[in-house]
Amino acid sequence: MKNFKNSTIIVFITLFTITSCDDDFVYVNSQDVNSEDYFNSEEEYFNALVGAYDLLGMTYQSSILGEIASDNTLCGGENATDVPGYQQIDDMIHTGNNIQLRDIFKWMYAGLNRANFIIEFRDKTDFDGREIMIAEAHFLRAFYYFELVKWFGPVPLVVDKRIQYGDQFSLPRTPVSEIYAQLEKDLIYAANVLPEYQILVGRATKGAAQALLGKIYLYQNKFDEAADALDSVITSNNYSLVENFADLFENDTTFDFQYNPTPTNDSPNNVDFDTDTIEIEDHILLTGKPVLYQSAAPLEGLISETTYYAIAVDYNHIQLAASHQDAIDNKPIDLTSGVASAHALYAQFENSQESVFEVQYSDLEGGSFGCFACVEGNIAVGFSGIRKYVGSPFSPRFESGYSFNVPTQESYDSYNELDTRRDTSILDIEKWVADWAALGITISYGKGYEHTGFFNRKYLPRKRDANIPDPNLTNPNNYRAIRYADVLLMAAEAHNKKSNPDPVTARYYLNQVRERAFGNSEFNVTSLSGEALNQTIFNERRLELMGEGHRFFDLVRTGQAKNFIPGFQEGKHELFPIPVVEIELSGNNWEQNPGY
């Protein structure tokens, strides 16, 4: 996790005493933290909280498999045996012996166990802000348990204490209704305590708790309660839709450039005072995008640490405007002079006004294929990348990857051609190559297994990342776990399905999303109600959230999976199998899910 996660990292190890007769060499003073003697200061509570947040990074499996299991994408990869667990889920032939499913099970339990650890010792030490940390632990526990319930249904519910080794022999699988009741309590408590804004980006807020609560109500068909919870997020006025859908899934980026009155090959000049343009190779800035200008020796006409607005001239050049309206009206700032100096423009794309809750990733610290849990980057991004992607004289926008999670032709065709979300959500690689060829840029790429010609553009590896140490694992693309657009669509659904349906409000929320997609109100829904409106909202969720991991679960909770997913068996595939090894570790105390 970037921001919050990078502030401190801690690993909790329970102290065990090793004993052996007369083996004095075994007795070594451990340097590990004794968990029973922990939580003596604000710092220790904070470190424990960071540890609880850390496992959010492992939800990458949900984001990629929620698509592969659905009708949105095919598994892809290098060949039919590349990551067998993914391939099996794509074909609906998965069993309880699936490494990826076990990863979800164990990582989510690891996360909620860390949250429980904090809650267990919630009263040990008092300090200002303690209750907020405890509320965050309740939010995280609800988040992790919700993932488990979505995937596996009834799972053992343990609250306010850690699950210790040996407990599994006496822990039954808890009915889903009881788990949801606990999650509701957790989130209501969290929403009442958490602030509307957190100073440290990435920490849960009041709005995040209310949105997750609304989603959990929706999954239980508690539509009245869902409408109320989601309306609380909307009427808070703390969130809004990002103006350009294309800006939603880029990474925070710093664009460096320099002014050099006597340029050389090694030190070129990127500023043209005659045209007021700045050269930045393959920038991703759209007209109107705010950027923070920084320089120790600012150009005449600009002030360091000031926000300006980009005017996109072409893919290699921009101008700057003093206001958003000036950018739209194509009124650039007059750049007149300067001394030889370095400059930077910082563009924030992540943790935007549309982000209700976002999983933070970093490209500055990585693990390896031998330890995915050690990776601080978004693993799903490298797995979704374009295979063997290379460009000349440069590679536009993206980096290579392993070509998993490839959208289908049907997914691409489900969009209206005028819908701006289509080409931001799904990359048509042949069109992409042709468009750049017209600009003199040659791109080559490899075709993987089940190649469709399409890629999940929202979560492709981007250029300008550090990717330390492995570019295929440590991509910094944050996962937008709950977006405001998602909140609007969930609220629309809830209002249309509640005991006293309100299709007017439902259409109002739905049309906010559609107007952003089309840039006008010409495609607004004006008269639908009842089941027709339900299905329209359902279809809109697919178009808006394509590639974000929600599709399979939307199909299941609305009872439509059998109509869209080849090989889906009712009464079986609504849930995934409990990993066999987990059943064995419980002393065969748990029954397997039906059909497996």
Strand partners, 404: 76
Q: Which of 446, 477, 508 is the last residue of a domain?
A: 477
CA distance 200 to 217: 28
Residue 184 φ/ψ, nearest 5 degrees: -60, -45
> Is the Cβ–Cβ distance between 74 and 450 less than 8 Å?
yes
User: Both 338 and 368 in a single domain?
Assistant: no
Where a domain ends, among 477, 505, 530? 477
Task: For the chain, list residues with pLDDT below 70.
Answer: 1-33
**End-of-domain residue from the set 347, 372, 389:** 347
Segments in 153-303 forming alpha helices (H): 176-193, 206-219, 223-235
Distance separating alpha carbons of residues 172 and 154, to the nearest angstrom: 9
pLDDT of residue 30: 46
Q: Please indicate, yes or no, if residue 319 is contained in any of the structural domains.
A: yes
Residues 470, 426, single domain; the answer is yes
Query: Total structural domains in the chain?
Result: 3
Is residue 535, in this structure, part of any structural domain at all?
no
Residue 448, domain member (yes or no)? yes
Assess if residue 533 is contained within a domain: no
Instruction: Determine the structural domain holding residue 384 and report its residue range.
Output: 361-477
Contact 335, 318 (CB under 8 A): no
Instruction: List alpha helices for 289-400, DSSP H.
Output: 324-328, 379-384
Instruction: Report which residue type is found at 73.
Output: T
Q: What is the pLDDT of residue 372?
A: 87
Question: Are 330 and 375 in the same domain?
Answer: no
User: Residue 470's beta-bridge partner residues?
Assistant: none
pLDDT in tens, 255-274: 999 999 999 988 999 999 99
Residues 67 and 110 in one domain: yes
Same-domain pairing of 158 and 291 = no
Do 161 and 44 lie in one domain? The reply is: yes
Q: Is residue 396 part of a domain?
A: yes
Which of 318, 292, 289, 287 lies closest to 303 in space, CA to CA?
Answer: 292
What is the spatial distance between Cα 212 and Cα 36, in angstroms, rounded to a whole number? 32
Instruction: Report the b/e string of 265-277 with b at 16+ CB within 10 A.
Output: eeeeebbeeeebb
Location of structure tokens 């309100």: 502
Alpha carbon dihedral 243, 247, 252, 258, in 10-degree steps, equals -100
Using alpha carbons only, give the angle 475, 481, 482 rounded to the nearest 5 degrees: 145
- pTM of this prediction exceeds 0.85: yes
323 lies in the same domain as 365? no
Query: Are 587 and 168 within 8 A, CB to CB?
Result: yes
**155: its two tokens:** 């799972």
Q: Among candidates 595, 126, 59, which has minimal Cα distance to 361? A: 59
At 373 the pLDDT is 84
Rg (CA), the chain: 25
Quick one: how many helices (H) and strands (E) in the chain? 20, 17
- CA 446 from chain center: how many Å? 27
Give dist(CA 481, CA 322) in Å, integer: 33
Question: What count of Cα atoms within 13 Å lies in the side-chain half-sphere of residue 71?
Answer: 21
Residue 227 falls within a domain, yes or no? no
70 and 179 housed in the same domain: yes
Question: Is residue 527 a part of any domain in this protein?
Answer: no
Is the Cβ–Cβ distance between 73 and 407 less than 8 Å? yes
d(CA 561, CA 570): 8
- Provide the 3-class DSSP secondary structure of residue 124: coil
Predicted local confidence at residue 35, as pLDDT? 76
The answer to whether the CB of 105 falls within 8 A of the CB of 153 is no
